């Protein structure tokens, strides 16, 4: 059996595993009980994972409520669910191109009774509308065009990518108050594709920009783009590439 056929078979198995896995974990976020569905083959539900991957966003944010949050790279829902717990009136739009991760995200949202507050979108954020190759392995995923781990991400699927300005127009120009972004190197094009949204609604931004493109960190390009449209930016922890940005206006 050739490698491509074997990868296709494994991709189908992984999708059905995400649909059917009975594995779950209970966590408490600010004393609120949250149930997480987890994969048999990887685990994004441990307390250590949450402390390392999700808590830094909350430590970086100002202590205030946000009405609408866009979660770019929502994965199985760590940030989305924690936003719903910590901001009881928030609405979240969770963007996740990976079908397998989206299945887990849907299960986690439903399991915690949050379907009325979370809108799940299957798009990748980009600076133009096109179909693109998305690659995954375990909990790691990225667009093929931007990913650095091409040899270790053997499972491919075709996903729709679009500028979020275009998506927002289709959705009725719903405002964004906070945008969290962890999209594995595609953050430059994603920001370009939401320029109108940023200038109109001036959301706070949390961007994981530690990824490298052509041997250069994406942080500096993201920082420069945002400053040009009136944002004040800083690196939350020096050297980490974790960018916090807020409009000057």
Summarised one tens digit per residue, pLDDT across range 151-188 is 555 677 889 999 999 999 988 877 899 999 999 889 99
Q: Which CATH architecture has domain 3-247?
A: 3-Layer(aba) Sandwich (3.40)
Retrieve residue 100's tokens. Answer: 């397998």
| Token pair for 187 | 């953050």
Contacts of 181 (CB under 8 A, 6+ apart): 72, 73, 125, 187, 190, 205, 206, 207, 208
* pLDDT-based confidence at residue 6 (cuts at 50, 70, 90): low
Query: For all residues of the chain together, what is the average pLDDT?
Result: 89
Instruction: Supply the pLDDT for residue 229.
Output: 96
Give exposure, 150-182, as e/b (b: 16+ Cβ within 10 Å).
Answer: eeebebebebebbbbbbbbeeeeeeebbbbbbb
Pick from 149, 151, 150, 145: nearest CA to 132? 145
Residue 97 has pLDDT above 60, yes or no: yes
Q: Does 64 or 227 have the greater pLDDT score?
A: 227
Q: Is the per-residue pLDDT at 46 higher than 80?
A: yes
Q: By percentage, how much of the chain surpasses pLDDT 70?
A: 92
Q: What is the mean pLDDT of residues 106-111?
A: 96
Work out the percent of the chain whose per-residue pLDDT is above 90. Answer: 63
Question: In this model, does residue 55 exceed pLDDT 80?
Answer: yes
Q: What is the four-CA torsion angle of 113, 34, 210, 132, rounded to 10 degrees?
A: -40
Question: Could you state, in order of their start, the residue ranges of all structural domains in the chain?
Answer: 3-247
Q: How much is the pTM?
A: 0.92
Q: Which of 167, 70, 190, 183 is nearest to 134 (CA)?
A: 183
pLDDT of residue 146: 80
Q: For the purposes of burial, counting CB atoms within 10 Å of the CB of 89, is it exposed (0-12), middle (13-18) or buried (19 or more)?
A: exposed
**Measured CA distances, 105 to 81, 191, 194 (Å):** 9, 24, 24
Taking residue 220's Cβ as centre, other Cβ atoms within 10 Å add up to 12
How far apart are the two ends of the chain, measured CA to CA in Å?
A: 59
């Amino acid at each position: 059996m050739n490698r491509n056929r074997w990868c296709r078979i494994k991709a189908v198995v992984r999708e059905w595993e995400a649909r059917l896995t009975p594995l779950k974990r209970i966590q408490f976020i600010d004393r609120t009980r949250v149930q997480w569905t987890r994969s048999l083959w990887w685990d994004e539900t441990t307390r250590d994972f949450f402390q390392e991957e999700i808590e830094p966003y909350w430590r970086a944010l100002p202590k205030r409520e946000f009405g609408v949050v866009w979660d770019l790279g929502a994965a199985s829902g760590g940030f989305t669910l924690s936003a719903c717990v910590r901001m009881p009136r928030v609405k979240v739009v969770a963007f996740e191109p990976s079908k397998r991760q989206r299945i887990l995200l849907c299960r986690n949202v439903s399991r915690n009774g949050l379907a009325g507050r979370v809108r799940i979108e299957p798009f990748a954020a980009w600076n133009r509308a096109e179909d693109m190759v998305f690659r995954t392995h375990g909990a790691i995923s990225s667009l093929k065009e931007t990913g650095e781990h091409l040899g270790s991400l053997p499972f491919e699927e075709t996903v729709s990518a679009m500028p979020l300005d275009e998506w927002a127009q289709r959705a009725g120009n719903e405002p964004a108050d906070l945008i969290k972004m962890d999209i594995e190197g595609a953050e430059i094009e994603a920001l370009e594709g939401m320029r109108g949204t940023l200038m109109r609604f001036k959301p706070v931004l949390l961007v994981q920009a530690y990824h490298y493109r052509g041997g250069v960190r994406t942080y500096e390009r993201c920082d420069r783009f945002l400053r040009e449209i009136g944002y004040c930016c800083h690196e939350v922890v020096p050297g980490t590439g974790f960018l916090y940005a807020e409009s000057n206006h």
